[in-house]
Structure 1
Amino acid sequence: MKRLYAVLIAVFGVYALASIIYFLKGDLFHIPLALVGSKADPHTFMTAQEIGNAESLSRIRSLAYFLSSPLQMGLLLVLLGVGVKFRMAAEKLFKASFLQIVVFVLLFTLLMDVLFLPVDYFLYKMDQSYGISTETLFTFWSDKGKDFVLNLLGSIVMVLIFKWVLKRSPNRWWLWFWLISIPLILFLTFIQPVVLDPLYNDFQPLQDQVLKEQILQLAAQSHIPADQVYQVNMSERTSAINAYVNGIGGNARIVLWDTILNKLQPDEILTVMAHEMGHYVERHIYLGIAYGIALSFIGFWLAFHAYRWFLGRWGARWGIRGEHDLAALPVLLLIATVMSFASAPAQNAFSRVIEHRADVYSMKMTGDGRAAIRAFQQIAKVNLSPVTQPKLVQWFRGSHPTIMERILYFEHYDH
């Protein structure tokens, strides 16, 4: 094991050094010469300081992502022995399997949160230093506490289901677990806008009645069953701007961050809202769920075989007693983490397609390319977003087309 750990540390050290050089020193944000001086050129609508801050913050965030993901994988591997100790402690405390599961999940979730707290806190301080985060320390810890409780409860439920399915169908648990995950995903999608979101923010009806009527008119033209528009007090957390339409059926909610109301003009807001409505009208949420379900089918099948292979080959070395052992759960989490990182390009590619479709819908509804260009120029300024990204970052982190690509598309309607 010591040799394995030494090799892992050496490999991560080389990877980390290469990542640091690439993200902190590389020429990552140049635009084509043909676009210099165009509306997609950040120098035409951002100051040199804004451009520098946007690029610096993007470098830091990308570096944190590409370092923390493999670091989490390595830590999960190293902590397999700790998982065995947690299982032993749970068994000493309680005889009931349910309580053992609760104790084990609690200890392991708490350990992972504590280990990655420095990364989260570092990014929080970075966002503060660049003026993106307006979050107080109290709000930061409050959100962390809510995240912990929700993750803990969700993890306990998932582990209980996994153990139940594994006991009854040891050779087909991946298929049954996948089938059970489908209604769970739909349920969470349904309750998020009305139950989960209000745990973090205060929602109230949009105060600007003129803008509200304009948005509801767009919604009526899009056949969205909404008679209310909400604004949410995101200015308590961030200076960034955003808006969204989420929920299913009668639970659909049209929501604007209060920051967008302060920083965009009404015609710019309408192009953004038409984009968000495009997601609803073209059923992107359903397409996303279907895509996720299809991807997870493959993922569960691969996880089943990787889990069984790993435990058969390495489990005994860590003191794991088999597939039913609570101490084996971090192995499953490790596999899921690796697969999530590996599948990020496929997920983001799909997301970029539907985001472009929503841009197309926005222009279909408003035809106002000039306002859309101004909106995304302002989004780049306020959110400190570079107009372009290197392909590696776009593959793994780019859920939307770049701002440069979006502005170039909107120019077709700039008249």
Structure 2
Amino acid sequence: MKRLYIGLGAAFGVYAIVMIVYLLKGNLFGIPRDLVGTSADPHTFMTAQEIDKAESLSRIRSLAYFLSSPLQIGLILLLLGVAVRIRSLSEKLFKASFLQMVVFVLLFTLLMDVLFLPVDYFLFKIDLAYGISTETLAIFLGDHVKDFLLNAVGTIVMVWIFRLVLKWSPNRWWFWFWLLSVPLIVFVTFIQPVVLDPLYNDFRPLQDQELKAQILQLAADSHIPAKQVYEVNMSERTNAINAYVNGIGGNARIVLWDTTLKKLQPDEILTVMAHEMGHYVEKHIYIGLAYGIALSLVGLWLAFHAYRFFLRRWAHKWGIRGENDLAALPILLLLVTVMSFISAPAQNAFSRVIEHRADVYAMQLTGDGNAAIRAFQQIAKENLSPVTQPKLVHWFRGSHPEIMDRIMYFKQYDK
């Protein structure tokens, strides 16, 4: 095992050096020559200082992304021996297997959370330093506690179901677990706008009645039975601009950040809202949900085989008893982390298609390319977002088309 750890450490060291050199050196954000001086050129709507800050922040965030997943994988491997000790402790504390599982999940989740807190705090301080975040330390820590509690409850439920299914069907648990997880995923998506989101922010009906009437008219033109538009007080957390649609069925909500209301003009806001309505009209939430569920089926099948192979090959070296051992659960976490990282390009490629479709719908609904261009120029400026990204970053982190491409698409509607 010592040789394994040394080998993995060396591999991570080489990987880290390669990523540092790739992300921190050279011109990664250049635009095509034929776009220089156009509305897609950041020099036409951002200062040189803003462009430098945007590119620097992007490099830091991308480096953190590409290093954090391998770090988490390595950390889980290092903690497998600790997981065995936590399992033994839970067995000493309780005889009931359910309570043993609750104790194990809580302690291991807390351990991982504490060990990764410095990374989260570093990114929190970076966003503060660059003027993106307005969070206080109290809000940061409060959100962290909420994240931990929600994650712990969700993990306990999923682990409890997993262990029951594994015991009942050792060779087909991946399928039955997937089947049982589908209604849970749909349920969480359904309650998120009305139960989960308000735990973090205050939502209220849009106060600007004139803008509200314009947005509701767009909704009526789109045959959306909307009676309300919400604004959320994100200014206590960020200076960035955003809007979104989430939830399903009658719980679907179209939401504007209050920063968007302050920093965009009404016609720019209408193009943003038309984009969000495009998601609703074209049922992107349902399509995304179906895509995620299908991807999870493939992921669970792969996890089943990898989990069994890993345990047969190395379980005895850590003192893990078998597939249903609590101490084996971190291996599943490791596999999920690996597959989430590897599948990110596929997930983002799908997301970019959906986002472009919403842009198309926004232009069909408003036809106002000029307002859309101004909106995305302001989004790039306020969010410190480079208009283009290096390909590797775009594949792994780009859930939306590049701002440069979006502006050039809107330009054909700029009249």
TM-score of the aligned structures, taking structure 2 as reference length? 0.99
The alignment partner of 2:230 has SS state of strand
Shift of 1:26: 2.8
Aligned to 1:168: 168
Q: Deviations over 1:331-355 (max 9, x none)?
A: 1110111000000000000000000
Match of 2:215 in 1: 215
1:102-181 equivalence runs, <5 A: 102-181=102-181
Distance 2:249 2:151 in 1: 26
Q: Which amino acid aligns with 1:26?
A: G
DSSP 3-state at the match of 2:83? helix
After TM superposition, the structure 1 = structure 2 runs for residues 61-100 of structure 1, keeping only pairs within 5 Å, are 61-100=61-100
SS in structure 1 of the partner of residue 412 of structure 2:
helix
CA offset at residue 225 of structure 1? 2.4
**Counterpart-to-counterpart distance in 2, 1:391 and 1:184:** 35
1:223 positional shift? 2.1
Q: Deviations over 1:357-410 (max 9, x none)?
A: 000000000000000000000000000000000010010000000000000000
Alignment map for 1:1-400 (pairs within 5 Å): 1-400=1-400
**2:253 and 2:355 mapped to 1: Cα distance?**
18
Offset at 1:14? 1.1
| Amino acid corresponding to residue 34 of structure 2 in structure 1 | A
Which amino acid counterpart does residue 20 of structure 2 have in structure 1?
A: I
CA root-mean-square deviation: 0.7
CA distance in 2, matches of 1:328, 1:251: 38
Indicate if the aligned counterparts of 1:225 and 1:250 stay in contact, CA closer than 8 A: no
SS of the residue 1:204 aligns to: strand
**Counterpart residue type for residue 299 of structure 1:** G
Return the alpha-carbon distance in structure 2 between the equivalents of residues 217 and 233 of structure 1. 24
C-alpha distance in 2 between matches for 1:161 and 1:26: 49
Distance 1:36 1:414 in 2: 18
SS in structure 2 at match of 1:413? coil
What letter is aligned with 1:68? S
Query: Is 239-248 or 401-410 further displaced after alignment?
Result: 239-248
- Identity across matched positions, percent: 79
Q: Deviations over 1:41-69 (max 9, x none)?
A: 00000000000000000000000000001
Q: Distance in 1 between matches of 2:245 and 2:344?
A: 23
CA displacement 1:106-139 (0-9 Å, x = unmatched): 1110011011101100000000000000000000
Q: Which residue of 1 aligns with 2:412?
A: 412
Please say if residues 203 and 233 of structure 1, whose CA atoms lie closer than 8 Å, have aligned partners that are also in contact: yes
Structure 2 unaligned runs (5+)? none
Stretch of structure 1 that moved more, 142-151 or 221-230: 221-230
Aligned residues: 415
Q: Secondary structure at the match of 2:323?
A: coil
